[in-house]
Every structure is written in structure tokens, then in C-alpha cells.
């Protein structure tokens, strides 16, 4: 890719994240992104339909980055305890970025992550049952980790969730 295009896209992305860290998504405006990124509106619209399309692109890129960093993702069924224990570590690593992008709605992050992992795990000939089972396991795991993190240790939560996952599979 042309280095100028890469530099321009990075400037737009950085400007968006800077503004997004201060304002809700509906308050971030194209003119403000362009001002901070030092690009004109025509340039912005050459790459993105609107602020929401830019946000969606950055969110999807972040989910891919998260999954690529999450080395225990392959252990969901073979060692669910390790899968669950590593999850908060990866969350913490990307905490600032995730908070900036998803602060208004945690469920958007978990939904996107769940869908990306389902796509990652599903064989080409998956069934309705396997799709539902995977969704149930992932959503349940992520919700329980979030809801119980201040009540129990990660290890205790992981131990009990791992037992449940092993029974499901």
C-alpha cells in the first residue's frame, strides 16, 4: 500500500481515537476528525462513509488484533481453564483501546468478539446445535467473567466455568 495512504489512514484513526476517548460516538464529528488529523473532508470521505463506518472499521480491526493476541483461543475445548485465565490478561493489555471504543456499551464488544470466535471455531459444515452451543459457551463465559470479577478470583471463576464447558462438550 502507498505509504501516503497508510499515513493518512493512521492520522484519521488516531484523530478519531483521540476524540472518541473524550466524547461519545454520536458527538464525534467528521470536521473535528479532519481538523485533528490535518486532512480535508474529501480525503476522509474517500476512505469512510461517515464516523460510524470509521468506528466499525476500527472496532473490527481491534477484534482481529485481540483474537490474534489471545494465544489461548485454541484451548476453549481442550483446556478451557487456560482459555478463561488468559482472557482477562488480553483484556487488560488492550484496556485503553477497548474502553475508548466500547465504553458506551460493553455488550457490543462481547457480541463482536463472540461472533468472531464463532467464525474462527466453526467448521464449514457446522450445525444449528453447534452454533447455539458455541454462542452459549462464549457469551456465558464472557458475561460471567465480567459480572463476577469483583466477587471471585479469576482462577476460581475459571475453574468452575471450565467444568461447565467440559460438561457441554
pLDDT tens digit sequence for 157-166: 999 999 999 9
Residues 6+ apart with CB under 8 A from 18: 36
pLDDT level of residue 47 (50, 70, 90 thresholds): very high
Q: Is 40 helix (H, G, I), strand (E, B) or coil?
A: coil
> Which of 122, 158, 118 is CA-nearest to residue 141?
158
Residues 6+ apart with CB under 8 A from 79: 72, 162
> How far apart are the C-alpha atoms of 130 and 123, rounded to whole Å?
9
The single residue listed with the C-alpha cell 459457551 is 137
With a pLDDT cut of 90, the percent of the chain lying above it is: 80
Please state whether the predicted TM-score (pTM) of the whole model is above 0.85: yes
Query: Quick one: cell of 4?
Result: 501516503
pLDDT level of residue 125 (50, 70, 90 thresholds): confident
The single residue listed with the C-alpha cell 489461548 is 72
Amino acid at each position: 500500500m502507498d505509504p501516503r495512504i497508510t499515513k493518512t489512514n493512521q492520522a484519521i484513526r488516531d484523530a478519531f481515537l483521540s476524540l472518541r476517548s473524550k466524547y461519545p460516538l454520536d458527538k464525534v464529528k467528521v470536521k473535528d476528525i479532519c481538523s485533528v488529523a490535518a486532512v480535508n473532508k474529501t480525503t476522509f470521505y474517500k476512505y469512510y462513509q461517515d464516523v460510524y463506518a470509521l468506528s466499525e472499521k476500527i472496532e473490527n480491526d481491534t477484534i482481529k488484533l485481540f483474537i490474534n493476541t489471545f494465544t489461548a483461543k485454541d484451548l476453549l475445548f481442550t483446556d478451557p481453564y487456560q482459555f478463561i485465565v488468559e482472557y482477562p490478561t488480553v483484556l487488560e493489555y488492550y484496556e485503553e483501546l477497548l474502553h475508548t471504543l466500547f465504553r458506551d456499551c460493553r455488550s457490543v464488544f462481547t457480541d463482536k468478539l463472540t461472533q468472531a470466535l464463532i467464525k474462527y471455531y466453526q467448521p464449514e459444515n457446522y450445525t444449528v446445535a453447534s452454533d447455539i452451543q458455541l454462542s452459549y459457551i462464549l457469551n456465558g463465559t464472557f458475561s460471567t467473567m465480567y459480572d463476577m470479577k469483583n466477587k471471585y478470583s479469576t482462577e476460581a471463576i475459571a475453574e468452575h466455568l471450565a467444568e461447565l464447558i467440559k460438561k457441554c462438550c
